[in-house]
Chain A
């Protein structure tokens, strides 16, 4: 039996930071929460806070799903957040230093801390970026760091970074909409407790993006959000962020490059673009450099970028820092670049590319989580304890044939949080994705992040594409 850690209930009593909420919940009339749930769903649908499911291109209600929203907040006490924030700041700073290093002097490879092969032969390594300077040496201006709390055998819990998302992390719009929804449904809760606000995130994001504009512009920088279009699963978020920042939401076909500069087509002619918050993978950015079949990007964009005429946020090539085969080295990076002891824990990780690690993994498949090195969205992974014998054996064959493609970690006993399910309130596993903004003015973030919850009993997969839901995340100010 794995140890358990519930965010709300300790072994014998409710944790201090949940006492106020529990008192309030106990005083609510029967049926109120159900009514509020229905109200929330109605509002989410009307507002169109939906995500499209990949593979479905037909428009209409069927393919635009709501991400289930749970009414019980995830509460983080002030002191825990303070430490987490310091850890995030440290980690993201080191990761940005790492990316800069990889594309310049490669000190960390020369020092033998990260194996050179692992970087230089990695599909996420972009040789095009060698020697290219980016404003403020900031590569990942918007990072999403996935954090879980795991139960220790003594019943306490520890935070771990599960993965770093340095390319195009999504979900921040849900963080903002969840808070708006909670304030609308339960205003009294917010007057009872001091809950750190998050609504200024778009301001911080705009400030960050503007700080990264090319040097020496004659006028205020023009910032745009680049989306793959309305059929992308995160389209709502792209439109939402553009609107909240008051900038244009562009598609690749709205842009063109002329004489090394990027312009957008407007009703009054061409308009120069200085900073592009792109929500598009590297591969699709520029058909003349990357995938030539991409209809989503803009030809010539990468040349304009390399010439320093336009800023891309995030930069090209950040995938090298969030690749799961690089993840095990992040604590060493922090030591190497900052000379500091890592504040946030890494999950112990076996790299199947190493013979001895692979042997251990193969012997313990039923207890481990095995992940694809480049995978995302909870696809292509094996959760040993939840898998059938046949699934494990099938995965074993895949693993033996392509060990380089996988890493493995112990199955963490993710913490749970009380959640509304069919039968009432029950504990469900959760994680947390804080969004970390790095600009020339420093590293900033709003307290908390997006809490995702695995709605299926016992499930550890929180991804929205696999039936996960979300919760509002409260960081208490006292």
Chain B
């Protein structure tokens, strides 16, 4: 496969995954904002959403005060924000268009239609009228994209690069979300966060974390216990069978990377394998003992390096 083609596929699926995860995080925060809460807590929620995507400085520069509708607009429909959903969907579509010959007709059409319809939704004012419906729609389109990809693509390199892109992005997004949400409770250095003050608040906090990765029912099934932060962390970091956990994502990246291995990718594969092994054999107590924040920051760095290594080995060879 052409390196350029692989590069477009990798980014196409990364951007689609990013759009989905962005919608997920916005959705749970929007749902939480419907519960009775103090203005401070509400503001902290939107602030943490911005922090997850590292958008707080850009938002403040543009809009100043935190305001729910503005934050949503900034993250959903602001074309000048390169991380917004509209920018992600545009990039996914542009990358797909550049290599539409490498995709099945169904995958291309689904991606193209998502883009066209999303723009229509923005014009129709769905975001203002019913934000939850729009977030749900983005998630559905992501499910569709994934389904049509698995259901129609030949299981060859093209599919592997698509999957490497999705899982790398998902690992990154889950880790970011965890980092911000744990900070919110532990009240570590970031002063913009606010502690939930009572058990009920704590329940809603952790259940929203779980819901953002569709893991609420999964948690109950796995632990059949009340929701405690340690187990939430364990589920989203170490549980291999949980499709949005770090362990699962790195397992899938490792699997696909092994299949596309070439003469120069040995070291990259070793790095992924090492990361995967650490997750496979890791224990949550150990991770928490060394500090979750430090752990996640290091994880994010390693995932970032992996992206660069994969680029060098396969996508933009000199």
Tell whether A268 is near chain B: CB-to-CB under 8 Å: yes
Per-residue CB contact flags for chain B residues 298-318 toward chain A (1 = under 8 Å, else 0) read 000000000000000011010
Partner of A243, one of B1, B100, B109, B116: B100
**Distance in Å: Cβ of A459 to nearest Cβ of chain B:** 30
In the docked arrangement, what's the CA distance between A45 and B94, Å? 15
> When A230-B98, A267-B157, A269-B262 are in contact, do A46 and B2 touch as well, CB less than 8 Å?
no
> Which residues of A are found within 8 Å of B116, using beta-carbon distances?
45-46, 61
> Which residues of B are found within 8 Å of A268, using beta-carbon distances?
1, 262-263
Of listed B98, B100, B112, residue having the most chain A CB within 10 A: B100
**Distance in Å: Cβ of A65 to nearest Cβ of chain B:** 14
> Given A48-B97, A48-B109, A230-B98, list of 10 further CB < 8 A pairs?
A47-B105, A48-B112, A239-B100, A240-B101, A243-B100, A250-B2, A251-B4, A264-B2, A268-B263, A269-B263
In the docked arrangement, what's the CA distance between A249 and B101, Å? 7
> Which residues of B are found within 8 Å of A269, using beta-carbon distances?
262-263
Are A48 and B100 within 8 A (Cβ)?
Answer: yes
Partner of A46, one of B3, B109, B314: B109
Tell whether B285 is near chain A: CB-to-CB under 8 Å: no
**Distance in Å: Cβ of B111 to nearest Cβ of chain A:** 9
Are B2 and A248 within 8 A (Cβ)?
Answer: yes
Tell whether A219 is near chain B: CB-to-CB under 8 Å: no
In the docked arrangement, what's the CA distance between A248 and B3, Å? 11
CB-CB nearest in chain B for A229 = B98
Q: Which of A's residues lie within 8 Å of B, judged by CB?
A: 45-48, 59-61, 230, 239-240, 242-243, 248-251, 253-254, 264-269
Of listed A60, A230, A267, A269, residue having the most chain B CB within 10 A: A267
**Distance in Å: Cβ of B31 to nearest Cβ of chain A:** 32
In the docked arrangement, what's the CA distance between A111 and B113, Å? 60
**Distance in Å: Cβ of A407 to nearest Cβ of chain B:** 38
Are B2 and A266 within 8 A (Cβ)?
Answer: yes
> Which residues of B are found within 8 Å of A266, using beta-carbon distances?
1-3
> When A46-B112, A268-B262 are in contact, do A254 and B2 touch as well, CB less than 8 Å?
yes
In the docked arrangement, what's the CA distance between A60 and B6, Å? 23
Are B108 and A61 within 8 A (Cβ)?
Answer: no
Within 8 A of A (CB), among B273-318: 314-315, 317
- 18 A-B contact pairs sorted by A residue (CB < 8 Å): A46-B109, A46-B116, A48-B112, A59-B94, A61-B119, A230-B94, A230-B97, A239-B97, A239-B101, A242-B101, A248-B101, A251-B4, A264-B2, A265-B317, A266-B1, A267-B1, A267-B260, A268-B262
CB-CB nearest in chain B for A247 = B101
Partner of B6, one of A48, A242, A243, A267: A267
Tell whether B181 is near chain A: CB-to-CB under 8 Å: no
Partner of A267, one of B3, B97, B98, B119: B3
Within 8 A of A (CB), among B74-106: 90, 94, 97-102, 105
> Which residues of B are found within 8 Å of A242, using beta-carbon distances?
101
Tell whether B126 is near chain A: CB-to-CB under 8 Å: no
> Which residues of A are found within 8 Å of B2, using beta-carbon distances?
248, 250, 254, 264-267
In the docked arrangement, what's the CA distance between A249 and B317, Å? 18
> Which residues of A are found within 8 Å of B3, using beta-carbon distances?
254, 265-267
In the docked arrangement, what's the CA distance between A243 and B158, Å? 14
> Which residues of A are found within 8 Å of B161, using beta-carbon distances?
267
**Distance in Å: Cβ of B148 to nearest Cβ of chain A:** 13
> Which residues of A are found within 8 Å of B94, using beta-carbon distances?
59, 230
Partner of A253, one of B4, B101, B112: B4
**Distance in Å: Cβ of B156 to nearest Cβ of chain A:** 11
> Which residues of A are found within 8 Å of B33, using beta-carbon distances?
none
In the docked arrangement, what's the CA distance between A254 and B316, Å? 10
> Which residues of B are found within 8 Å of A253, using beta-carbon distances?
4
Partner of B4, one of A46, A239, A254: A254
Tell whether B5 is near chain A: CB-to-CB under 8 Å: yes
> Which residues of B are found within 8 Å of A48, using beta-carbon distances?
97, 100, 108-109, 112
Of listed B3, B102, B113, residue having the most chain A CB within 10 A: B3
> When A239-B101, A267-B6 are in contact, do A60 and B90 touch as well, CB less than 8 Å?
yes
Are B262 and A243 within 8 A (Cβ)?
Answer: no
**Distance in Å: Cβ of B163 to nearest Cβ of chain A:** 14
List the 9 closest pairs (A to B, CB-CB), nearest first. Answer: A243-B101, A242-B101, A267-B314, A239-B101, A249-B101, A265-B3, A239-B100, A267-B6, A48-B112
CB-CB nearest in chain B for A246 = B101
**Distance in Å: Cβ of A233 to nearest Cβ of chain B:** 14
In the docked arrangement, what's the CA distance between A248 and B314, Å? 17
**Distance in Å: Cβ of B96 to nearest Cβ of chain A:** 9
Are B101 and A267 within 8 A (Cβ)?
Answer: no
Per-residue CB contact flags for chain B residues 145-169 toward chain A (1 = under 8 Å, else 0) read 0000000000001000100000000
CB-CB nearest in chain A for B120 = A61
In the docked arrangement, what's the CA distance between A267 and B257, Å? 12
> Which residues of A are found within 8 Å of B119, using beta-carbon distances?
61
**Distance in Å: Cβ of B314 to nearest Cβ of chain A:** 5
> Which residues of B are found within 8 Å of A243, using beta-carbon distances?
100-102
> Which residues of B are found within 8 Å of A267, using beta-carbon distances?
1-3, 6, 157, 161, 260, 262, 314-315
> Which residues of B are found within 8 Å of A46, using beta-carbon distances?
109, 112-113, 116
In the docked arrangement, what's the CA distance between A250 and B99, Å? 10
**Distance in Å: Cβ of B225 to nearest Cβ of chain A:** 46
Are A248 and B5 within 8 A (Cβ)?
Answer: yes
> Which residues of A are found within 8 Å of B102, using beta-carbon distances?
243, 249
CB-CB nearest in chain B for A245 = B101
> Which residues of B are found within 8 Å of A251, using beta-carbon distances?
4
